[in-house]
Amino acid sequence: MESGVVKSLISKVIFITGNQSQRSCLSPSGSYQAQIYDMRNKYILEYSLIIIVILLSITGFWNIYFGVDANPNLYHHLHVITNLIWLLLLLYQLNLIGKNKHLIHRKIGLAVLFVGPLLVATTSLLSIHSAHKGLISGRGDFLIVQNVMVTIELGFLIALAFIFKKQRKLHGAFLLSTAILFMGIALFFTLLSFVPQFKIEGPDTFYRFGTAAATSRYVCIIVGLIFFLKAYKNGWPLLVAGSFFSLNELINNFLADHNQIQLLTETVGSLNQLLGFLISFFILFIVLLSTGIRKRNGPKVQFESIGFVDSGQLADFTPLDRKKQSDV
């Protein structure tokens, strides 16, 4: 009789202790909180890049909205809004990863299906408008090659992010690399607007356009190189993105040597703006859809412990099916 009571007490103690250990693993305190803190520190460079690009985007567009000759139009509004939405989406997604909220991260990530094509479409629209404006004024568009190529490269990076979505780190690197494209352009206009050594003060200082462009190119390469050295296996997309401006400059020089800049400006500037917007949007939208939307249907397991997956991120845990829980 006594032995039966002792066994019952021991089993209850084991049951209670087991439940408490599971709750301690899942609580926001202790080692789990430390792991989350380490995860967020791990992405400090990524956080810094996105925040810096957001600030540069504000300073880059400052003169358009608040300068002496400020005259923003619909094209600028669309471009600024979509840029900020994209950058804030990247920041929010990174924050979810830092908090180990991967299920929410994947759901919010579906917004890229729409925001990504919209971003490329507005970039394409602004490129067509800029070229058309250059034709009308007769002054040409000195950024025609960069505008066209950045539009193509932006869509290329977003498409690759979806193609490699099963490789989590590489997927994230491709999405983050789009921020470097924005950084290069925003830094160029920020230098021209706020740094005295780069300000245009008359015909004698027109060479500063080239100096500001070269500075932006070098900064982008250095930033990309930093991410590459941090994690060369998955950081190379940022180095590639950082090198795009230098590649575009080579293309620009080649076209200039063969007197094709004017032809390119006329071709882009003569395009129908609405049609260019729609075509750009649906091409990328269809490409992203064609990669397939992966639905996670892995085996459902109990919360038993906290561990790390091979990628270095906290593992996802899925509770028992509700029906099974109700049967217990």
pLDDT at 40: 60
In a domain, 327, yes or no: no
Residue 308 dihedral angles phi and psi, to the nearest 5°: -115, 140
Would you put residue 271 in left (φ > 0), alpha (ψ -120 to 50) or beta?
beta
d(CA 279, CA 328): 54
In a domain, 309, yes or no: no
The pTM score is: 0.78
Q: Which domain holds residue 86?
A: 33-297
The rounded average pLDDT for each run of 10 residues, N- to C-terminus, in the chain (328 residues) is 48 45 46 56 91 96 88 90 96 88 83 94 96 93 95 97 92 96 96 94 91 97 96 95 97 96 96 97 96 56 32 39 42
pLDDT at 316: 41
In a domain, 310, yes or no: no
pLDDT at 144: 96
Tokens of 313: 């991120």
The residue to which tokens 């004017």 are assigned: 262
Task: Tell me the residue length of the chain.
Answer: 328
In a domain, 243, yes or no: yes
Asked if 280 contacts 121 with a C-beta cutoff of 8 angstroms, the reply is yes
pLDDT at 19: 46
d(CA 24, CA 13): 16
d(CA 303, CA 125): 49
d(CA 209, CA 192): 8
DSSP state of 203: G
Q: Compute CA 202 distance to the chain's CA centroid, rounded to the nearest angstrom.
A: 37
pLDDT at 246: 97
Q: Which alpha helices (H) appear in 164-231, and where do they start and end?
A: 168-194, 207-230
In a domain, 1, yes or no: no
In a domain, 50, yes or no: yes
In a domain, 85, yes or no: yes
Asked if 148 contacts 124 with a C-beta cutoff of 8 angstroms, the reply is no
In a domain, 304, yes or no: no
Provide the domain count of the chain. Answer: 1
pLDDT at 183: 97
